[in-house]
């Protein structure tokens, strides 16, 4: 079997194995967020940060949810990292945005943050801050044992069908899940062009 055949066979397995009930739960949570006038803050680092920017567009444009991501402002992001430390890039943005319990965060991450392993500690701090304020914590992650999955309210865990491909599958399925959400009949308010 070629790599391409194996990769896409695994992708099909992941799609079939995703917790579809949790995806519906997340859709309902996002409908409730919009109804209460809350804002959505999408957080991620590395490849997941690139997914954040695209998802912000889709939730704003197609679903009418006021959505932001700190990774879209490189100047503020790097100033916070330089002046205050990498750990606080998201919490500082959230403080500056005056988040409340009406708002929510959506984490895109492979591991979901792990303080003990010193991985994505900025995500751990953002999740903890959100929980302290009473915000909802949502996520699409690749590890059930990470901070987001263990502390979140509605988190989709991408099944790990191949340990060597957890990162590419997790980041690819972040896009699959958010596109499922923004095309959900309960969420989508505007049609796509095509």
How many helices and strands (H and E) does the chain possess?
Answer: 8, 5
125-130: which pairs have CB atoms within 8 A and are 24 or more residues apart? Answer: 125/87, 125/88, 125/90, 125/91, 126/43, 126/90, 126/91, 126/94, 127/151, 127/152, 129/91, 129/94, 130/94, 130/99, 130/104, 130/105
Note the pLDDT of residue 128: 98
Pairing status of strand 67-68 against strand 40-43: parallel
DSSP three-state, residue 50: helix
Domain ranges of the chain: 14-182
pLDDT in single tens digits along all 194 residues of the chain? 999 999 999 999 999 999 999 999 999 999 999 999 999 999 999 999 999 999 999 999 999 999 999 999 999 999 999 999 999 999 999 999 999 999 999 999 999 999 999 899 999 999 999 999 999 999 999 999 999 999 999 999 999 999 999 999 999 999 999 999 999 999 999 999 89
Note the pLDDT of residue 73: 93
Which distant-in-sequence residues (6+ apart) come within 8 Å of 142 by Cβ?
Answer: 109, 110, 111, 112, 157, 158, 160, 166, 167, 169, 170
Note the pLDDT of residue 90: 97
Whole-prediction pTM value? Answer: 0.96
Note the pLDDT of residue 68: 98
Q: Which of 18, 35, 39, 29 is nearest to 174 (CA)?
A: 18
The CATH number that domain 14-182 falls under is: 3.40.50.10490
């Amino acid at each position: 079997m070629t790599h391409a055949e194996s990769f896409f066979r695994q992708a099909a397995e992941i799609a079939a194995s995703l917790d579809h009930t949790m995806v519906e739960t997340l859709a309902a949570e996002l409908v409730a967020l919009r109804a209460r006038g809350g804002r959505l803050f999408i957080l991620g680092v590395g490849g997941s940060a690139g997914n954040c920017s695209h998802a912000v567009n889709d939730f704003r444009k197609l679903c009418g949810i006021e959505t932001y991501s700190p990774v879209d402002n490189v100047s503020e992001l790097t100033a916070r990292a330089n002046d205050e430390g990498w750990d606080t890039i998201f919490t500082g943005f959230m403080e500056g945005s005056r988040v409340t319990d009406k708002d929510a965060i959506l984490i895109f991450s492979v591991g979901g943050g792990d303080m003990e392993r010193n991985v994505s500690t900025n995500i751990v701090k953002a999740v903890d801050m959100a929980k302290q304020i009473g915000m909802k914590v949502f996520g699409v992650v690749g590890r059930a044992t990470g901070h987001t999955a263990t502390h979140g309210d509605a988190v989709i865990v991408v099944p790990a069908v191949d340990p060597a491909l957890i990162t590419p599958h997790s980041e690819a399925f972040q896009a699959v899940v958010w596109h499922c959400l923004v095309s959900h009949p309960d969420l989508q308010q505007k049609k796509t062009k095509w």
